[in-house]
Every structure is written in structure tokens, then in C-alpha cells.
Amino acid sequence: MVKRKSFFPRRVVIQMLVAPVIIIVCALMYMFMIHSTANMPVVFTIARGDTVSGVAGRLMDEKLIDSEQTFKMAVRMNGGTIQSGQYDIPSGASVWTIADMFVNGRVASTTIVIPEGLTIKQVKKLLLQASNLTGAVECEKGNYAPVCKLTDGQIFPDTYTVAKGTKRLAVLELARKKMESVTDGLKKNARKLPRPLKNWNDVLTLASIVQKETPQVREMPIVASVYLNRLNKGMRLQADPTVVYALTDGLGDMQGEPLLRGHLKIDSPYNTYRNAGLPPAPIANVGQDAIRAVLKPADTNYLFFVADGRGGHKFAKDYQTHQKNHADWREIKKSRK
């Protein structure tokens, strides 16, 4: 019996079957992954408790999608649950991109830089100026959490990346915990404190003075050695930053006003011109370099230092040399004026 040849070759039949599938797949890819009605970047917030249907409706209202059902399907395909937070939806974002962001919690982030040497008051002011954060910097009455009673030396200056809309108190708590972690590590390695320091409060207090005196990491161990030498000789520290701290009620910034000779007489336990020894507590928040400088100071006989006009300092072992260095600094200031 002779087999009848098929009117369509097998290859043609396969192509006829596959072609519609390819067209459907391409259409779906375009609809989900390429097509977009987001004409400009938009900040979109999902609150806790918001439903997928509710979010889909808002996306439609803001013309970020053109089909609620397509968005819901994309959410289901990505996992089915959306996460609260603030999102930066870019221009041209597809339904799939938006759903993926919401399901995986790819919230918009912001970077907060807390510089070394700031006081708690200055840090709180900085956080209040950060528009991407929310909430107050002070706790409600009756809240006794550690973050509610911060003192200088308890937060770690660093760069923190957090979600937009993060509460300011949460950032302070993050910095507080980071300081705890950093100091725990440093304490383990500090088997013996340099004389005459007795405890960790002494270390942080002296480190805060060093931090305020010089921004140069290479100078910090030398500055630390000056103050340790003075302490061991029973000399007063006579550190200007401690006077500024006392004058400004813990702000730590003269806000453009000069420090005058008369200011050195202020009656305060923080005034190291009037009081022997260290102040009672740190006068700023310090980084690791300043702490390490105190734990491992340079081996010097220096007792004095003064600015050199180039961002650093001139150091001296005796008062006569210090007077000459001070005169040089006065001439530099006079020439600048």
C-alpha cells in the first residue's frame, strides 16, 4: 500500500504550531517586561497593611500602570506579597519591574553621613535637616530606651545607608549600636591603658579632645602623647575645645564667634584651663583613629602644640619653644587678615 504524502511537510507543521506560541510569549514579555506608562520618576509609598488591590488602584490613578490585573499577576508571579516602604519608581519602569521592587522590598535608600567630632546636639541638628528621614530626634516622655538618653561619645561617626522615610531615632540607635560594637572590639585588644588613664570613659574623653584638636590622622598619636605627658606631670590640659564645649552648653561650636582670653575663666567642670585632669565625660563623638591614637600614643616628650597655618601643628618640649611657635602662628594669622 502506498503512503499518501502529507499536504504540509512536518517542518511546516511545526512552524505553524510554534509561531503562535512565540507571538504569545513576545506579547506577554512586552506587556510585563517592556511596556511602561511611567513617564517620569515617582516616589511611591506602601504603608503597612496596604493590599495588592489597593496598591494596584493607586498605581492606576498615578498612571504608572495601565492594567490592575496585569500588576496583580506580576505580583503573584514574583511571590505574592508586597512590602511596605518608600520606593523610587524610575521613568520607563515596566509592570514587572514595579512588582519585583514591591515584592522584594527594594525600597529607596538615602545616605546619612555623621562626621567625626560632632556633638550629640550637632548630630541631632544634622538629622533634622535630612529631608529623607522622618520623625523627631527626641523620645516621647516616659521612654527610657538607651537612645533616649544619649551623651557624647556614645554614637559612632560613620556613613549610614538607610531606607528613605527611616525614623531619625532609628538612625541614632543604629549609630549607638555601631559604637557599642566598635568599642567592644577595641576594648578586647586594649590589654593595658596608657598611664594615667583608669577606665574606658577616660579613653573616650581624651580621644574626643584629640578628635577636636586635629583632623589629621597622622598627628593624632602625637597630640594624644602631649595630653598624656601633661596629665602625668600634673599639668592642666588647657585644651580650647573643652572651653568651647562649656561655653556653648554642649553644642561644641562657637558658630563663628572667636574664643577670647576671658572665655578661659568660665566656671565649668569641662574647662581644662581651670580644672586639673580630664573633663568628666567626652566632648564629642569620636572615630576609631582618635581612640587608637589614645590607646597607642606616640613616644614623645612634647608638652605643647600650636597650629602651623597649614592644617597641622608645631609641637614643643618646652615653653620657650612653644612661645616662638605661637608667635609664628600669630604672624600667619595677621598676614591672612
pLDDT digits (tens, 9 = 90+) for 211-237: 999 999 999 999 999 999 999 999 999
* pLDDT at residue number 69: 93
Q: How confident is the model at residue 38 (pLDDT cuts 50, 70, 90)?
A: confident
Provide the 10 A C-beta neighbour count for residue 174. 19
Q: Is the pLDDT of residue 206 over 60?
A: yes
Which residue ranges make up each domain of the chain?
A: 41-48+58-69+87-107, 109-186, 194-336
CA distance linking residue 241 with residue 145, whole number of Å: 30
Q: Where are the beta strands (DSSP E) in 77-186?
A: 85-89, 109-113, 159-163
Question: Closest Cα partner for 203 from 283, 272, 295?
Answer: 295
- Whether the CA torsion 234, 238, 241, 246 is positive or negative: it is positive
Residue 39 identity: N
* pLDDT at residue number 1: 53
Measured at the alpha carbon of residue 68, what is the angle toward residues 65 and 71, in degrees to the nearest 5?
A: 70
Contact in structure between 38 and 64 (CB atoms under 8 Å): yes
Contact in structure between 306 and 322 (CB atoms under 8 Å): yes
Whole-prediction pTM:
0.83
Provide the 10 A C-beta neighbour count for residue 271. 22
Task: For 280-310, write each residue's pLDDT tens digit.
Answer: 999 999 999 999 999 999 999 999 999 998 8
What is the crossing angle of helices 68-78 and 95-104, to 10°?
A: 50
132: enclosing H helix or E strand: none
Q: Is the model more confident about 333 or about 126?
A: 126
- What phi and psi, each to the nearest 5 degrees, are found at residue 313? -140, 155
